[in-house]
Structure 1
Amino acid sequence: MADRPELREVKLWDPLLRGFHWLLAFFVIAAWLLGNYGPTSMTLHFWCGYAVTFLLAFRLIWGFVGPEPARFSSFLRGPRAISDYARHMFLREPSYWPGHNPLGALSVIAMLAALVAQVLTGMMSESENFIDAGPLASSVSSATRKAAKSYHEFGANLILVLVLLHVGVLLFYRFWKRENLIKPMVDGRKLVRRD
């Protein structure tokens, strides 16, 4: 059995990033539920979409000017790092990775990209009742509104898959790798390998 690596606890996720994460989770889930099971009026769905838009703008800015662990430059890795991490991912031991691991970084980018596309298509969409329309719907052609609505519906399903995959990976880390990745997103602290 391998020796346990030397560990240290670090302050990892800042309060603004943690707040962003939980608010984004809330508003994305609320928007999805309202879009699929909510009232006929899409007003609440739109307000959730506006909240997601604001949160995404914050995250994109924070990815360049926030604390180092929140910056895209600190966790985006190349193909070699991704493949090295993937080779060891299924070992039944914690990774003690300081921040997003290379595969986790890809999931962050995928989720942010899907949400940006979802917001944009939602802003250009118009429902069949012609009452509920995104704020940009009147600025685009009828064909674009129709295509945006179709992409928006597809995007909702894609985001559901990404959210379920995210939760599945968290459970995999918790029960297979014995590493709690939720705790650092609550209190901001994580055990990492000592340099």
Structure 2
Amino acid sequence: MPVKTWDMGVRFTHWTVAGIVVWNLFGPTDQSHRVLGYIAAGLVACRIVWGFVGTPYARFSAWWPTPARLKDYARSLAAGKPLHHLSHNPLGGLMAIALWLLILALAASGWLMRSDAFWGEDWLDNLHTYLSIALQACMCVHILAAIIMSIWTRDNLIGSMLTGFKRDPDNR
């Protein structure tokens, strides 16, 4: 029986930020790149706030990757029987945090690159580039993991981020 897990705010933020990131990685680095980068950072900030006050499955308390949750989940993966989570699984939660931090760091480094104090600084330009590469790598891992886990667990994770509903194995 499907359960409403991802509210419209979570899904809108996810797909809008994903679209902006793809555009900014492969599109022109002009004024739109900067504006869209700030919008992405603002959406990530909103999602972080939503992690404290939002719907139950969107809250950090539902999915924060504590050491104990990570350990239990890693054991279940190693046993070939991944634990089911209606919210993010602990590794998915860890990836969400990594992606958000990279997006915020990219926005901050991009903003600093345009400031008088750091104008023309090569190290900052290099940092921005390295953060971009790290974001690309994390995105690839994120997408690949969503596909693999969807197949392995027969739980369409990508579809659930589109529809908002996930399968509840405890309530067939």
> Is the contact made by 2:73 and 2:82 (CA closer than 8 Å) also made in structure 1?
no
Give, as a single letter, the amino acid of the residue that structure 2 aligns with 1:185: M
Which of residues 21, 24, 32 in structure 1 aligns to 2:25? 32
Classify the secondary structure of the residue corresponding to 2:154: coil
The whole-number CA distance in structure 2 between the counterparts of 1:141 and 1:121 is: 10
Query: Per-residue displacement from partner, 1:110-154 (whole Å, max 9, x unpaired)?
Result: 1111111111001111xxxxxxxx3xx12x2458x4322111000
The answer to whether the aligner puts 1:146 opposite 2:122 as a matched pair is yes
Letter in 2 for 1:122: G
Distance in 2, matches of 1:157 and 1:94, equals 30
- What amino acid maps onto 1:79 in structure 2? P
Question: Letter of the aligned partner of 1:119 in structure 2?
Answer: A
User: What's the TM-score once normalised by structure 2's chain length?
Assistant: 0.89
1:129-183 deviations in Å (ceiling 9; x for gaps): xxxxx3xx12x2458x432211100011000000000111011112233221011
Normalised to the residue count of structure 1, the TM-score between the two structures is: 0.79
2:110 maps to a residue whose letter is G
Report the AA paired with residue 15 of structure 1. M
Q: Give the SS at the match of 1:69.
A: coil
**Aligned with 2:103 (options 115, 121, 140):** 115
Give the equivalent residue in structure 2 for 1:166.
Answer: 142
| One-letter amino acid of the structure 2 residue matched with residue 78 of structure 1 | T
Residue 66 of structure 1 deviates from its aligned partner by 1.1
Q: Is the 8 A contact 1:13 1:189 kept in 2?
A: yes
Q: Aligned equivalents of 1:188 and 1:71: distance in 2?
A: 15
**CA distance in structure 1 between the aligned counterparts of 2:60 and 2:76, rounded to whole angstroms:** 23
Percent identity between the two aligned chains: 29
How far apart in 2 are the matches of 1:190 and 1:91? 23
**For residues 51-70 of structure 1, what are the structure 2 equivalents within 5 Å?**
51-70=39-58
1:1-195 alignment, distance < 5 Å: 8-34=1-27, 38=28, 42-89=30-77, 95-125=83-113, 134=114, 137-138=115-116, 140-142=117-119, 145-194=121-170
Unpaired runs of 5+ in structure 2?
A: none
Secondary structure at the aligned position of 1:98 is classed as coil
Structure 1 or 2: more helix by fraction: 2
Question: Partners in 1 of 2:16 and 2:168 — Cα distance?
Answer: 26
CA RMSD for the aligned pairs?
Answer: 2.0
How far apart are residue 78 of structure 1 and its match? 2.0
Q: Which amino acid aligns with 1:26?
A: G
